[in-house]
């Protein structure tokens, strides 16, 4: 399974405080045909990375964990949605939290989609495609 070519060429940012999880997400993206991937160990660092790359190699898609030290995924989504320069970035929340409250919190913050760990590669591919299609309509409660 591969992503459509217009998504494979996008620059993805993967935010997770666990290096092993960042590696797993990156490996999954590579398996789906993505070649441009940047990583960050926290929501705060992810936001700084997005801003630092605006002029030279902008981030096109964000994949973030929900719970992280030094800035959660929710905080990152809120920062993205509040910043006029990047508010349209698609954001896919990746987490082990499947409780309704966690999902609603992510949706309220403005994620485009949500996937629970562990995932099947086909499900991840589908969620990325749906997130990219829904860019102009960030998820709302």
- Nearest Cα to Cα of residue 92 among 125, 54, 47: 125
For residue 30, being part of any structural domain is answered with: yes
Residue 84 Rama label (left phi>0; alpha psi -120 to 50; beta):
alpha
Evaluate whether residue 37 is within a structural domain.
yes
Residue 102 belongs to domain spanning? 5-133
User: What are the tokens at 49?
Assistant: 């990375």
pLDDT mean over 22-29 = 97
Number of domains the chain is built from: 1
The CATH number covering residue 47 comes to 3.40.50.2300
pTM over 0.75? The answer is yes
Residues 6+ apart with CB under 8 A from 68: 15, 16, 17, 41, 42, 43
Reported as a single tens digit per residue, the pLDDT across 102-134 is: 888 898 999 999 999 899 999 999 999 999 975
Residue 129 tokens, joined:
């495609």
The answer to whether residue 140 sits within a structural domain is no
- Which of 45-49, 70-74, 107-111, 130-134 reaches the highest mean pLDDT? 45-49
Q: Is 138 within a domain?
A: no
Distance separating alpha carbons of residues 136 and 114, to the nearest angstrom: 17
């Amino acid at each position: 399974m591969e992503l459509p070519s217009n998504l494979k060429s996008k620059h993805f940012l993967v935010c997770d405080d666990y290096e092993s999880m960042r590696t797993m997400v990156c490996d999954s993206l590579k398996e789906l045909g993505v070649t441009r991937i940047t990583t960050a160990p926290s929501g705060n660092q992810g936001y700084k990375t997005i801003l630092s790359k605006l002029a030279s190699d902008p981030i096109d898609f964000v994949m973030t964990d929900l719970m992280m030290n030094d800035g959660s995924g929710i905080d990152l989504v809120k920062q993205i949605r509040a910043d006029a320069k990047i508010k349209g970035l698609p954001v896919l929340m990746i987490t082990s939290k499947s409780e309704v409250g966690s999902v609603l919190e992510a949706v309220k913050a403005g994620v485009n989609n949500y996937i629970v760990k562990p995932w099947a590669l086909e499900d991840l591919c589908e969620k990325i495609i749906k997130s990219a299609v829904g860019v102009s309509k960030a998820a709302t409660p």
